[in-house]
Amino acid sequence: MHVIVLFGILLLIFLRIIGLIISFEFLRDLKESKFKILIIGWSVWIIAGLSALLIGIFETEPIVEVFHLINNITTSIAILYVLMGLYSYFQAISRKTIVIFTSLSILVPLVAFLMRMFSDVLNFSSGILFIVVFIYSFLPLRKMEVFKKELSIKSFYWYLIFVFIIYVFIVFYVIFLLQGYTFGFYSDEFSIPMFINYFVGILSNFVMLIYSIHLEYDISKVQKYNLRDKYSHDLGNLVQVIYSAATLTNVDEDLNKEKTENLELIQKKCEEAAKLIKDIKKNQ
Amino acid sequence: MATIFLIDDDLSIVTLFEKFLTILGHEIVAKAYNGEEAVKLFHQFRNSPDLILMDHRMPIKDGLTAAKEILRANSRSKIIFFSADYSIKEKALELGAKYFLEKPFQLNKLSNVINKIISEQ
């Protein structure tokens, strides 16, 4: 295995571990199912990286082929889950969709492998990968209102950078496959396509991480605002009742001086509370 | 003095506003506790009330939607919005509301706004 491949795979594993840790943190704080999808994605992607390293260690043909198969299947599933996890910020992913894509990613390469059509396995995995990447990177554009309402312009720019990089990656990959290179470029000899593959691959993983952090930051900000809005609204209604009740009671002419003073104190404090509530709303 | 239709999902607010406005000499012709009930009641009026006091955040149908339907039924309806949701102020005024009061407010302010709108009639 060439040093570029080894270094590239190690760096990719490192980035995926960071992705996994971030998803765990988000799951711990927010307990939303999309983070479970992301956790599966990043975990399987780490396994994909490890299986790629094993390809370089073993030299016996059948074992290498098995690791190739594992690497192909895990890479497809990992990218599928990470992209589905990122897309679920825009729309919930049904269990049916997950099951169909996962089954396809596992069964078809496995059957092809068992039927001794190894080269077809590689092509099929790449094919699935491109379709999945195309679908899930393109779909957020159809949900522009989410970007406008809930996300910041920064997230949108990172999304565009992310899409640009993975499309560049796909174009290069297709060209290289047509030239006869194989999935992973696990060769001992240096080649420009090998370098481009790992450079763009690492870049896309890095951008994907930043994009997911931006998405999460924006969504948690919106949730925080909504919560603040809800509480300031309910508090406003509460103060309105106290304020109005105090004003109405003060209309009574039979009240003694002490009671009148107490009511005036309540009204004064309600005025202060009203100001405070307005300040909270303004700071949103 | 004015005939007033009072709409808010908070029973305490409806009760207190009713007492206050009655003391001032206004007549509360109807009360509703959500937007849908408000629209239904409005369609049953023989004579439209002089003023409609409308909250926004209510169950079933919100104030803005109810106001839109009421104004569609009678474009001359005079609606005063009172809500703790300041973000809808612009939308309410664009829709044709006469005034927007942000909760919490002093009851005297409500009285001043009502008098001002009545005097414009």
pLDDT at A129: 72
Q: pLDDT-derived band of residue A17, with 50, 70 and 90 as boundaries? A: very high
Give the span between the Cα atoms of A211 and A129, in whole angstroms.
20
pLDDT at A186: 64
Residue finishing a domain among A170, A204, A221: A221
Nearest to A46 by CA among A86, A12, A87, A92: A12
Give residue A179's domain range. Answer: 3-221
Is A202 in the same domain as A259? no
Chain segment B67-110, per-residue pLDDT in tens:
999 999 999 999 999 998 888 899 999 999 999 999 999 999 99
- Residue B15 predicted with pLDDT over 90: yes
Contacts of residue A278 in chain B, CB cutoff 8 Å? 86, 102
- Residue A11 predicted with pLDDT over 90: yes
- Residue A284 predicted with pLDDT over 70: no
- Output A21 or A92, whichever has higher pLDDT: A21
pLDDT at A26: 84
pLDDT at A113: 80
Among B107, B109, B111, B112, the strongest candidate for a mutation testing the A interface, having the largest count of A CBs within 10 A, is: B107
Contacts of residue B23 in chain A, CB cutoff 8 Å? 248, 251
Is A202 in the same domain as A232? no
Distance from CA of A272 to the nearest CA of B (A): 10
Contacts of residue B104 in chain A, CB cutoff 8 Å? 236-237, 239-240, 243, 270, 273-274, 277
Choose the most confident range, by mean pLDDT, from A29-33, A193-197, B64-68: B64-68
Contacts of residue B16 in chain A, CB cutoff 8 Å? 241, 244-245, 248
Is A263 in the same domain as A133? no
- Output A47 or B121, whichever has higher pLDDT: A47
Is A116 in the same domain as A151? yes
CATH number of the domain encompassing residue A129:
1.20.1070
What residues in chain B have their Cβ under 8 A from chain A's Cβ atoms?
A: 10, 12-13, 16-17, 19-20, 23, 57, 84-87, 102-108
The CB-side HSE value for A149 (13 A sphere, CA atoms) comes to: 8
Q: Could you give the residue ranges of the DSSP H alpha helices within A31-114?
A: 33-57, 61-87, 95-114
Chain segment A107-158, per-residue pLDDT in tens:
888 887 887 776 666 666 677 677 777 777 777 777 777 777 777 788 888 8
User: Which secondary-structure segment (H or E) carries A270?
Assistant: helix A257-282
What are the structure tokens assigned to B78, written together? 């005079």
- Backbone angle region of A119, left / alpha / beta, with phi > 0 → left and psi within -120 to 50 → alpha: alpha
Is A192 in the same domain as A234? no
∠ CA A115-A45-A168, nearest 5°, is 90
For chain B, domains (ranges, CATH) are 3-120 (3.40.50.2300)
DSSP string, A141-175: GGGHHHHHHTS-HHHHHHHHHHHHHHHHHHHHHHH
The packing angle between helices A61-87 and A95-114, to 10°, is 170
Closest-CA residue of chain B to A284:
B87
Answer whether A260 touches B (CB < 8 Å).
no
User: Contact at 8 Å (CB) between A190 and A4?
Assistant: yes
Structural domains in chain A (count): 2
pLDDT at A221: 82
Contacts of residue A281 in chain B, CB cutoff 8 Å? 86
Give the span between the Cα atoms of A282 and B55, in whole angstroms.
20
Is A103 in the same domain as A9? yes
Among A244, A268, A281, the strongest candidate for a mutation testing the B interface, having the largest count of B CBs within 10 A, is: A244
- Residue A42 predicted with pLDDT over 70: yes
What are the structure tokens assigned to B77, written together? 């309806």
ipTM: 0.90
With CB atoms and an 8 Å threshold, state whether B20 touches A248.
yes
Give the span between the Cα atoms of A189 and A128, in whole angstroms.
28
Is A59 in the same domain as A99? yes
Indicate the burial class of A148 (C-beta count within 10 angstroms; 0-12, 13-18, 19 or more): exposed
Is A169 in the same domain as A262? no
Is A16 in the same domain as A148? yes
Answer whether A268 touches B (CB < 8 Å).
no
Nearby residues of A31 by Cβ (< 8 Å), 6 or more positions away: none
Please count the residue pairs, one from chain A and one from chain B, whose beta carbons lie less than 8 angstroms apart.
60
Pairing type for strands B51-54 and B79-83 reads: parallel
- The minimal CB distance from B104 to the residues A236, A248, A251 is found for A236
User: Which secondary-structure segment (H or E) carries A193?
Assistant: helix A192-250
- Output A207 or A93, whichever has higher pLDDT: A207
Give the span between the Cα atoms of B59 and A58, in whole angstroms.
66
Is A38 in the same domain as A9? yes
The packing angle between helices A192-250 and A257-282, to 10°, is 160
Residue finishing a domain among A221, A247, A265: A221
Residue finishing a domain among A184, A205, A221: A221
Give the span between the Cα atoms of A137 and A231, in whole angstroms.
36
- Output A199 or A29, whichever has higher pLDDT: A199
pLDDT at A272: 92
Does the global pTM surpass 0.90? no
What single-letter DSSP state applies at residue B46?
S
Is A100 in the same domain as A233? no
Is A25 in the same domain as A77? yes
